[in-house]
Amino acid sequence: MTPKVQSILSYLGILWLLAFFVGKDDRNDLSSYHLKQGLGLFLVAVVFNFAAALVLMIFPSLSIILGVVGILFLILMVLGIIAAANEVKKPLPVIGRIFEDKFSFIDS
């Protein structure tokens, strides 16, 4: 698996595991960067969805607002895929800088 394919797959949720384990031998600096960004986006989305589920139990009328925020996660995923396809190290808007130096296990 090429580093470019690893970088693109890293933003596609569960396919992140495929990019991480199958592409371990061919990983370069670019694919490691996008693996970190993709994992960070996935974790933020999971935490947000969990918190949103709790909020929706109390305030069901907020479902439209939370749905819009869910679309924002989709937009972030598409922006990450575009950066990976162009082979550019560009952090995701808003949350990308947080994960640039996290997840050191990806570099090994």
Q: What radius of gyration do the chain's Cα atoms show?
A: 15
Q: What pLDDT score does 25 carry?
A: 81
90 within 8 A of 83, measured Cβ to Cβ: yes
Amino acid at 8: I
Chain segment 53-101, per-residue pLDDT in tens: 888 899 888 788 878 888 999 999 999 999 999 999 999 998 889 988 8
**Predicted structure pTM score:** 0.85
Q: What are phi and psi of 35, to 5 degrees?
A: -65, -40
Confidence of residue 2 (pLDDT cuts 50, 70, 90): confident
In the DSSP assignment, the letter for residue 100 is T
pLDDT of residue 108: 66
pLDDT at residue 20 is higher than 80:
yes
Domain regions of the chain by residue span: 3-101
